[in-house]
Structure 1
Amino acid sequence: MPERAIDSGLIDRLGFLDPYLGGKTTRIGASVNWTQDGATPITALAYAHYYKFKLISNFTYFLDDPVHGDEFEQRDSRFVLGGKVDKRFAFDLGVPVELLVGAETRNDLIAPVGLYHSEFGQITSTVRQDRVDEESVGAFAEATIHPLSNVRVILGLRGDGYAFQVRSSIAANSGHATAGIVSPKAAIAWTPIKQVEVYANYGEGFHSNDGRGTTITINPQDGSPAGKVDALVKARGYEVGVRTRPIDGLTLTATYWSLHLNSELQYDGDQGETSPNGPSQRHGYELSSFYKPADWLTVDAQYTRSFARSTDLPPGQDHIVNALESVVSAGVVAKYQRASAAIRVRHFGPYPIIEDNSVRARPLTVVNARVGYDLGRIELAADLLNAFDAHDYEIEYYYVSRLAGEPLAGVADRHVKPIEPRQLRLSATVHL
């Protein structure tokens, strides 16, 4: 909600402006796992699921259409079929070598996926509606080598291929696209003494963009020309760290990491168009501890700090919006016979919600608690969510919107989603 609507008393902190917003989603799935043990074990996985999604949103209210409003509906319906198989081998080439090879595939049959103008919760016109068939296949190999008793080296290589077939309600946005990418990786771990392990990792990967962006030529919102995006965008990451066990039951880990993305291209489903963003560089460190002072008690804590910048923008204008900068998490779990109790606190520090960092999200702290009892095949639990009834905001954006009666140009403001109030959730899990 626009924060000004809350501050002015137009709505309360948990209120809303458009009563027709909301949606529903359905997911039904099945999977089968198969394993053959032996000197060269094989594992196989096959899965299928059906997914359906409908959501009515309104982020800018009366900015684009002062008469009928900016409400819109998104729909997605798809069948997903996929599988994976891998096989392990062991060799002695003067040093022990373990080899893992495998392949996997996934097919998404999406019909339809659409964006529509709506008013009072009813569709008034179609922005775009598409049928998308997306197929992917990958093959990989990973070798684990032990050149010394206290050194482990991992070398890997993966290849992926994608194919997209788009049939759009806008004929010019229909088409076919293919893409492929190769991703190597390497890791080394050294244990100089029993209580200390030092490691370093390098890896390349990718993220895929929405298939509709690979064939788009016309912006469905206004008919202007639109540029196609790369289907697969390479990522490159590094990590170095140390893990130590100074006393029995205590593990401490410190890690420094760096990640470079060639592009943060993404499909903007709310606008029906592809939003190209430039390359980025992220880096940071993580500190974690895990302590088990007794068989019935576990304590853990983590702290992460990260920095994210767009590398094609000038300093001061290069902050990546909504990129978290600091997170603290800690928890305690106690178990006695069949009973258990846990409490966990999470804290998210401020982060930029505009590129020049002049507006930042406020911190969020939430505490959750849980008690459970295991009856064997049935497990009972009670969760107290947001135990101290914090009134923080769990999401903050900064953009222009317009409420009824405001200037046609709209008002730049924070748009917030408050954390849900304290609630008690009871559950029962049955193991067949």
Structure 2
Amino acid sequence: MKKTLLLANILLLGVSYSSLAQALKGRILDQTSSPVIGAYVIHNESEHHAHTNGSGYFVLQGVSIGDSIQVSHMGYETQNLKVEALDREFTIRMRETAIELGEVVFSQDLNPLNTLSRIDLRTNPVNTSQDILRKVPGLFIGQHAGGGKAEQIFLRGFDIDHGTDINITVDGMPVNMVSHAHGQGYSDLHFLIPETVERVDFDKGPYNADKGNFATAGYVNFQTKRGLDKSSVSVQGGSFNTVRTVGLFNLINEKKNNAYIAAEYLASDGPFEASQNFNRINLMGRYGLSLDDGSDISLIASYFTSKWDASGQIPIRAVESGQISRFGALDDTEGGYTSRTNLGLTHAKQINDRLFIKNNVYYSNYDFELFSNFTFFLEDSVNGDQIRQRENRAIFGAESQLTYSKLFSGGEYDLQFGVGLRNDDIRDNELAGTKNRDSVRFVTQRGDITESNYYTYLNLNVSFDKLRINPGVRVDYFNYLYQDELTPAYDPKSLNAAVVSPKLNFIYTASDNVQLFLKSGIGFHSNDTRLVLERPNNESILPRAFGADLGGSFKLMPRLILNSALWVLRLEQEFVYVGDAGIVEPSGRTSRRGVDLGLRWQANNWIYLDGDFTYSYARSIDDAEGENFIPLAPRITTTGGLSFEKDRLSGALRARYLQDRPANEDNSVIAEGYTILDLNANYRVNAFTFGFFIENLLNSEWREAQFDTESRIRLANGQLEPEPVSEIHFTPGTPFNFRGFVKFTF
């Protein structure tokens, strides 16, 4: 009888405890209602902890009413709170404070590189869309012509051209354009207003199951601010008749309701003798709503338009002979026009203690027209070789991602399942020969493309005391359809293809100050629909990339962090730029290996130093030794600088170095490297901020974009060259460029 009563009491106590100790669910936001991602939530009584996910949600098990929790994140004030209820979602708002590297703690749930990118964004603010890409360590960019064209990108031994081997998104909306009129993966990021960027999420290599097409060298996802704490208006002006105005207007900033609009206007003549006549307009609006059932809804709408004239790439011989200056032109009728309208809807909900769902739907309407002349009079000695590339496309996509989390004896796991689609409907994708932009001499290609990508992925994270194992797999299915408008009959061609991409990663957190990783995976980039349908039996339909990374992050001192990686990446197929046609075409297999090093040091409470070094060895596998260099593949790149933020004064001195690199397959032609210094500073006086930006502080002469191109030019005496010449053609880098600004916050 006594044993029975004792057992009953134990059971009652167990039931009583289980009714008291429950899961605490909540969301952590900043003062602008943007989610604080990766915040550390610790249960002070048991030291159990949790981290916030990509939407700022967390679930902390084993919490009772009256317990206390601590919430912390680098760059925010630490909060200690008492749990007063468990029957509703807990919302915590954090206030920003000065960056303190001593607060960085390595955890299995966090990517140290993304944490460091947040430091860089805070201490080195940007004011151009292209500068945002430079927040990825080791990533270099170069403008081809006119300021309105997408930048040329370099990363991990890749000349990625405009985006062939890097996956770029904004709030989950793709930036890369498949089967684009100018080149596969074309990524024009100029529709993004840099002042609206809250977070830069990135990783290098093909190791993430939720990242698909083009994620071979890596991926970058920009997340915009959910809301604004205050409104602001700024005006900039400076060299080359440059004017830029930006307005950020806070409409609503409440606990469950927030909205803002942003606008940007930019105009510039540029440093060229023939004015660029460049102008860009950006409009954006974002609305966020949190419902009582735990749902979070975000609606984003934006409009972008840009047009420009360009002086194009010029041959070295024309400059050295004195025929034109470095900022002159042989065909100043180049240029272009582009526009993009975006709509995006995101829904996220913590369904219960273990289940979280996120849905994303987007639509884009895009126009593009580009006039270029790479070879001048090589093909047509009378009219010249100017070409026009243009298209109009509509993009629709949707994705659902379900995450299931559970504790088990000795650890925890979360299983992520995603499914989605993307459809590109491209009309009048054209390559034509033109003269002075106003007359069409011939049409090489014109047609309608429909390309659909259906995908699913499974991602598992199993965390033990110090080790996290992350296997994953992704399946992509493509449908290609092309109707050639130059043929008399309606006879569309179609083809289907699929690719499977497995991943396996290990992250070992030895301590709060040491984290090691081994990553491996297979990724891919798709090829242009027209190329695929021309070669339906070729393995180049969805060429794969095989990669591995071995490295770690080390907190060597309280305010000194080092991250490093040894990596290797092999591709089944590469892309080569063909200047005489203004297109890209496939070649053979390639192999790359290299080293990445990054350093972040906080000298005191207001001075920060950073540096990133990359070495890459890139070769073609199928070509003979000495003839297997990959044109324009960077070998050594270095970026770094000093930033300061004290009271009302802040600023930075930045440097970037790109070593000489081969411009052709046998390394007989060299693309010259460069070192550029930039400087910025600003000072706050009440509601006003005054400051300046200086690009190319030392006024160095440098070549931004370079290609080994065969061309034929008309000489100063009006006669054509007797024979074509193959040599470096380049666009000159910006000379000393000063812009001052004033900003009013209200």
Please report the TM-score for the alignment, with normalisation by the length of structure 2. 0.54
Q: Does 1:286 align with 2:596?
A: yes
Question: Partner of 2:513 in structure 1?
Answer: 195
Question: Partner of 1:302 in structure 2?
Answer: 612
Greater shift, 158-167 or 35-44, is seen at 35-44
1:139 counterpart letter in structure 2? T
Indicate which of 720, 731, 741 corresponds to 1:417: 731
Determine the C-alpha separation between the residues in 2 that align with 1:187 and 1:195: 20
The SS at the match of 2:323 is coil
Indicate which of 321, 326, 341 corresponds to 1:13: 326
Displacement of 1:104 in angstroms is: 2.2
Greater shift, 349-358 or 75-84, is seen at 75-84
Determine the C-alpha separation between the residues in 2 that align with 1:166 and 1:349: 42
Contact persistence 2:524–2:544 (CA under 8 A): yes
Question: Partner of 1:354 in structure 2?
Answer: 664
Determine the C-alpha separation between the residues in 2 that align with 1:189 and 1:298: 28
Contact persistence 1:191–1:197 (CA under 8 A): yes
Question: Structure 1 249/273 Cα, relative in aligned 2: closer, same or farther at 3 Å?
Answer: closer
Q: Does 1:66 align with 2:381?
A: yes
Question: Structure 1 429/99 Cα, relative in aligned 2: closer, same or farther at 3 Å?
Answer: farther
Contact persistence 1:306–1:324 (CA under 8 A): yes
Question: Partner of 2:635 in structure 1?
Answer: 325
Determine the C-alpha separation between the residues in 1 that align with 2:579 and 2:330: 22
Structure showing greater relative contact order (alpha-carbon pairs closer than 8 Å, 6 or more residues apart): 2
Indicate which of 141, 165, 168 corresponds to 2:458: 141
Indicate which of 33, 49, 53 corresponds to 2:364: 49
Question: Structure 1 406/27 Cα, relative in aligned 2: closer, same or farther at 3 Å?
Answer: same
Question: Partner of 1:239 in structure 2?
Answer: 549
Greater shift, 368-377 or 355-364, is seen at 368-377
Determine the C-alpha separation between the residues in 2 that align with 1:376 and 1:47: 40
C-alpha distance after superposition, 1:269-300 (max 9, x if no partner): 97377723000001100111011233433211
Contact persistence 1:115–1:269 (CA under 8 A): no
The two structures, once aligned, show a CA RMSD in angstroms of 2.6
- Structure with the bigger percentage of strand: 1
Displacement of 1:76 in angstroms is: 1.9
Aligned pairs for 1:184-223 within 5 A? 184-216=502-534
Determine the C-alpha separation between the residues in 1 that align with 2:523 and 2:745: 37
1:293 counterpart letter in structure 2? A
1:206 counterpart letter in structure 2? F
Aligned pairs for 1:163-202 within 5 A? 163-171=479-487, 174-202=492-520
The SS at the match of 1:105 is strand
Determine the C-alpha separation between the residues in 1 that align with 2:687 and 2:391: 36
Determine the C-alpha separation between the residues in 1 that align with 2:688 and 2:527: 42
Question: Structure 1 317/430 Cα, relative in aligned 2: closer, same or farther at 3 Å?
Answer: farther
The SS at the match of 1:215 is helix
Contact persistence 1:229–1:265 (CA under 8 A): no
Determine the C-alpha separation between the residues in 2 that align with 1:185 and 1:207: 16
2:323 counterpart letter in structure 1? L
C-alpha distance after superposition, 1:127-154 (max 9, x if no partner): 111111111121111111123x111111
The SS at the match of 2:556 is coil
Determine the C-alpha separation between the residues in 1 that align with 2:652 and 2:590: 38
Question: Partner of 1:131 in structure 2?
Answer: 448
C-alpha distance after superposition, 1:52-93 (max 9, x if no partner): 111111111111111211111111211111122212111234
Contact persistence 1:215–1:228 (CA under 8 A): no
Question: Structure 1 274/345 Cα, relative in aligned 2: closer, same or farther at 3 Å?
Answer: closer
Determine the C-alpha separation between the residues in 2 that align with 1:228 and 1:169: 24
Contact persistence 1:394–1:417 (CA under 8 A): yes
Displacement of 1:265 in angstroms is: 4.6
Question: Structure 1 359/265 Cα, relative in aligned 2: closer, same or farther at 3 Å?
Answer: closer
C-alpha distance after superposition, 1:189-232 (max 9, x if no partner): 22334422221100110001111211237xxxxxxxx9977331
Determine the C-alpha separation between the residues in 1 that align with 2:401 and 2:569: 28
Question: Structure 1 228/191 Cα, relative in aligned 2: closer, same or farther at 3 Å?
Answer: closer
C-alpha distance after superposition, 1:212-270 (max 9, x if no partner): 211237xxxxxxxx997733111110100122111112110121110000111579697
Indicate which of 254, 275, 295 corresponds to 2:585: 275
Q: Does 1:121 align with 2:437?
A: yes
Greater shift, 106-115 or 7-16, is seen at 106-115
Contact persistence 1:399–1:415 (CA under 8 A): yes
Determine the C-alpha separation between the residues in 1 that align with 2:406 and 2:479: 36
Question: Partner of 1:220 in structure 2?
Answer: none
Contact persistence 1:174–1:215 (CA under 8 A): no
The SS at the match of 2:324 is coil
Question: Partner of 2:470 in structure 1?
Answer: 154
Question: Structure 1 106/85 Cα, relative in aligned 2: closer, same or farther at 3 Å?
Answer: same
C-alpha distance after superposition, 1:22-59 (max 9, x if no partner): 11221222222222124212122222222211111111
Question: Partner of 2:654 in structure 1?
Answer: 344
Displacement of 1:324 in angstroms is: 0.6
Question: Structure 1 273/416 Cα, relative in aligned 2: closer, same or farther at 3 Å?
Answer: closer
- For these two proteins, the number of residue pairs brought into alignment is 423
Determine the C-alpha separation between the residues in 1 that align with 2:695 and 2:704: 14
1:61 counterpart letter in structure 2? F
Please report the TM-score for the alignment, with normalisation by the length of structure 1. 0.90
- Give ranges in structure 1 of 5+ residues lacking alignment: 218-225
Question: Structure 1 227/127 Cα, relative in aligned 2: closer, same or farther at 3 Å?
Answer: farther
Question: Structure 1 63/266 Cα, relative in aligned 2: closer, same or farther at 3 Å?
Answer: closer
Determine the C-alpha separation between the residues in 2 that align with 1:340 and 1:9: 43
Determine the C-alpha separation between the residues in 1 that align with 2:445 and 2:745: 44
Greater shift, 269-278 or 207-216, is seen at 269-278
- Give ranges in structure 2 of 5+ residues lacking alignment: 1-313
C-alpha distance after superposition, 1:283-322 (max 9, x if no partner): 1001110112334332110000001111000000000001
Determine the C-alpha separation between the residues in 2 that align with 1:427 and 1:128: 46
Displacement of 1:374 in angstroms is: 7.1
Question: Structure 1 127/239 Cα, relative in aligned 2: closer, same or farther at 3 Å?
Answer: same
Contact persistence 2:521–2:547 (CA under 8 A): yes
Question: Partner of 1:221 in structure 2?
Answer: none
Determine the C-alpha separation between the residues in 1 that align with 2:567 and 2:609: 25
Q: Which has the larger radius of gyration?
A: 2
C-alpha distance after superposition, 1:327-369 (max 9, x if no partner): 0000222223454312211000011001001121111111222
Determine the C-alpha separation between the residues in 2 that align with 1:294 and 1:389: 31
Determine the C-alpha separation between the residues in 2 that align with 1:375 and 1:212: 57
Question: Partner of 1:223 in structure 2?
Answer: none
Question: Structure 1 77/270 Cα, relative in aligned 2: closer, same or farther at 3 Å?
Answer: farther
1:169 counterpart letter in structure 2? E
Q: Does 1:84 align with 2:394?
A: no
Contact persistence 2:386–2:435 (CA under 8 A): yes
Determine the C-alpha separation between the residues in 1 that align with 2:566 and 2:316: 37
Determine the C-alpha separation between the residues in 2 that align with 1:207 and 1:358: 30
Question: Structure 1 369/45 Cα, relative in aligned 2: closer, same or farther at 3 Å?
Answer: farther
Contact persistence 2:319–2:325 (CA under 8 A): yes
Question: Structure 1 193/399 Cα, relative in aligned 2: closer, same or farther at 3 Å?
Answer: same
